């Protein structure tokens, strides 16, 4: 099961993804994409995402690129080691830009 939670601070928001980032997250990510357009700075916190598959990676890329096209500041933070390893293997940091990947802990 995939869930999310928003923590808003003015024009900034932290989105806490919870659960596996896979095909089951499709509808939720499409829904959240609309919500996030209202903010200027978006931090996507992956600390509670233990697993990501190719569909989830595609969804994440689409979400980040959509927000960046709208001149939003986007960050991805606090990946679990297993998820970070997958991102490293597929060179996601090179695809989306290393500057958006941050650690807050």
CA distance 105 to 99: 17
Tell me the pLDDT of the chain (105 aa) as tens digits.
899 999 999 999 999 999 999 999 999 999 999 999 999 999 999 999 999 999 999 999 999 999 999 999 999 999 999 999 999 999 999 999 999 999 887
All structural domains of the chain, each given as residue ranges with its CATH number in brackets, are 3-102 (3.30.750.24)
| Per-residue model confidence (pLDDT) at position 44 | 98
């Amino acid at each position: 099961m995939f869930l999310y939670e928003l923590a808003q601070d003015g024009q900034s928001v932290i989105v806490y993804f919870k659960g596996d980032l896979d095909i089951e997250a499709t509808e939720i990510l499409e829904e959240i994409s609309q919500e996030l357009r209202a903010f200027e700075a978006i931090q996507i916190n992956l600390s509670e995402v233990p697993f990501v598959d190719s569909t989830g990676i595609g969804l994440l890329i689409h979400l980040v690129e959509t927000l960046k096209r709208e001149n939003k500041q986007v960050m991805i933070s606090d990946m679990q080691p297993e998820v970070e390893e997958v991102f490293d293997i597929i060179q996601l940091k090179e695809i989306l830009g290393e500057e958006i990947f941050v650690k807050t802990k």
